[in-house]
Amino acid sequence: MAPPGQRSTRFSAEKPLAEPLIHKADETASGSKSKSPAINRSYDILDLLANARSPVLSRADITQQMGLPRSSTANLLSALEECGLVERMGNDYSLGRKIVTLASAYLRKFDPVQEFYRFCSNSDILKDETVRIAILDRNEIIYIARYEGHPAIHLTSNIGDHMPVSLCAVGKAIVSRLDDEDVQKMFTGVKILPVMTEHSIRTVTQLRKELKETRLRGYAIEDEEATPGVMCLGIAVPTRGVNGPKMGVSVSSVKVTFDQQRHARLLEGLQSLVRAIGSPLDGVG
């Protein structure tokens, strides 16, 4: 422990853990003045502990990184400790077990379909598009939710409709994340795949090639394979479990407007949606 009046040099040889947060704490995410700066500062402490390189940080480290007076940092840490949000070991602090309790309660109440509709209606990119969620059912997908932001795409699948995975972007996206062995079992004995348009994938060999490209790309593309004149992008949603992803999302567009710029914009919106409705315990690439 450093002598009185001398700053700890535990991390003096390393780069600073973060920029001081004192100015951020007094503002909300939108930049407006916070009505409860103490809550903002408490969150910043939790975020600092969560992203630290070491399992614990000393009170001096936290004070330095927060850019706060030592007394203010001590009061905030004391309040967080009383709530169980941080744990103290001497002068060192780590995240507390109460964090796990709160996270578990959130996960129990998290409804991806409800979040799907909320996100789409508030998204600058997706609010005027046709977006759907689907789940895997053997070698088909079932659409379980549809956000209708573009009336021109009314010919595409609705809630409750089944679709062969080979014919749709969301199906290919989900299956591309499965193990090769699971894909093999899915199409055992299948020689000819269902066809809906002249662009439909017709053989398992073609589908395997498409799945390989989808894995490398990170998302699936449907080019008039189920509906003439309609393009779709699909991404698998990370879900927990030993059997891999079972859910995915897709966004549709008429082909005549689907240029490179629109492609990139819709993909950005879909990736943000996946992060919003995916399991918070899984990463989204």
Q: For each of the chain's 285 residues, which pLDDT tens digit applies?
A: 444 444 444 433 343 444 444 444 454 443 456 678 889 999 999 999 988 889 999 999 999 999 999 999 999 999 999 999 999 999 999 999 998 888 777 666 668 888 899 999 999 999 999 999 999 988 999 999 999 887 655 666 788 889 999 999 999 999 999 888 888 889 988 888 999 999 999 999 999 999 999 999 999 999 999 999 999 999 999 865 544 568 999 999 999 999 999 999 999 999 999 999 886 555 444
Burial of 33 (0-12, 13-18, 19+ CB in 10 A): exposed
Radius of gyration of the chain (CA): 25
* 136's tokens: 């895997």
Structure tokens at 101: 């309790």
Q: Where are the beta strands (DSSP E) in the chain?
A: 57-58, 86-89, 92-95, 130-137, 140-148, 162-164, 220-223, 230-237, 247-254
- Alpha-helical (H) ranges within 52-193 are 59-66, 70-82, 98-109, 112-122, 169-176, 180-186
CB atoms within 10 A of CB 268: 13
At 49, which helix (H) or strand (E)? Answer: helix 37-50
Q: Please, what are the domains in the chain?
A: 22-104 (1.10.10.10), 110-277 (3.30.450.40)
The C-alpha angle with vertex 25 and arms to 96 and 4, in degrees rounded to 5, equals: 70
pLDDT score for 191? 83
* Amino acid (one-letter) located at 57: L
In the 8-state DSSP scheme, what is residue 238?
A: P
Kindly report the number of other CB atoms within 10 A of residue 77's CB atom: 19
Return the pLDDT at 24: 47
> CA 175, 176, 178, 184 torsion: positive or negative?
positive
From residue 254, give the alpha-carbon distance in Å to each of 28, 113, 121, 227, 262: 39, 25, 20, 10, 11
Angle value at C-alpha 25, between 20 and 31, nearest 5 degrees? 110
Cβ partners under 8 Å of residue 114, min gap 6? none
Extract the tokens encoding 163.
């679709």
Q: Are 149 and 120 in contact (CB under 8 A)?
A: yes
